[in-house]
Amino acid sequence: MNYESLLIAIENKIALVTINRPTKLNALNKATLAELHSAFSDLETNDAVQAIILTGSGEKAFVAGADIAEFADFSAAEGTQLAAEGHQKVFDHIENLKKPVIAAINGFALGGGLELAMACHFRVSSDNAKMSLPEVTLGLIPGYGGTQRLPQLVGKGRAMEMILTAAMITAEEAMQYGLVNHVVPQNELIAFCQGLAQKIIQNAPIALSEAIQAVNASFDNTKNGYEAEINAFGRLFGTADFKEGTTAFLEKRKANFSGK
């Protein structure tokens, strides 16, 4: 499928999704959010894809926030709907995707851009990246999961400071906080993420999916994370991948997983 705001390349079972609005610093508008929902839905069911890297085009920005011009005149009801639809169709959707998603933060990740990165399963940053949640400077709060995911990643105190001051942090600070896992030179960012993705996809696809869901369950107040882990662990004993993984281990050979 062709997208106006996204570029998608698939190679060696890894999909690279690039938000491609460089003149707008890849800001998220309604059309781009709709395309992200469609693209991730397609990639999740595409057997040729086992892991996804999400990044922004150009050298300046991953995503420099939401497109403010689109919602500047919204009513309270329209604002509520904007946040609810964003959560459901994009941010929660990516967080709960059955395939691993790595955010490759190549520059500014502000507001909705940082929230998009936080919805991914983990984050790698270029050394020139800057991150912030500046919504309070607009008379708003983060509306795409920022008040929930940031405390999970960096702790309540750090999150409160970042949100209430709207301060921008560097890539190194983001790594110290635990917001990103790695910081690398910008020209090495995608290759580094591809290397991580290659390591991931050597493992059993069903186990990866179950691991994502079990970890997410620990942050869901409606679920018992330990119970989710126990049930997922048990289910995996009934898969062909478990049989292959254990057989390969005992035979001292590399496993050839089928994803079944």
Provide the token pair at 213: 């869901």
Provide the token pair at 49: 């894809």
Maximum Cα–Cα distance across the chain: 65
pLDDT of the residue at 1: 74
pLDDT of the residue at 25: 95
Helices (H), the chain: 30-44, 68-71, 76-86, 92-95, 112-119, 146-154, 156-165, 171-177, 189-200, 205-217, 225-236, 240-250
Beta bridge partners of 132: 110
C-alpha dihedral sign at 24, 60, 86, 98: positive
Beta bridge partners of 14: 11, 51
pLDDT of the residue at 152: 97
For residues 197, 29, 88 and 206, what is the CA-based torsion angle, rounded to 10 degrees? -10
Three-state DSSP at 74 gives: coil
Provide the token pair at 58: 């150009």
Q: Which residues, given as ranges, of the chain have pLDDT below 70? A: none
C-beta separation of 43 from 5 below 8 A: no
What kind and span of H or E run contains 11? Answer: strand 6-11
Beta bridge partners of 69: none
C-alpha dihedral sign at 26, 197, 206, 47: positive
pLDDT of the residue at 67: 87
Q: Which residues are catalytic?
A: 115, 135
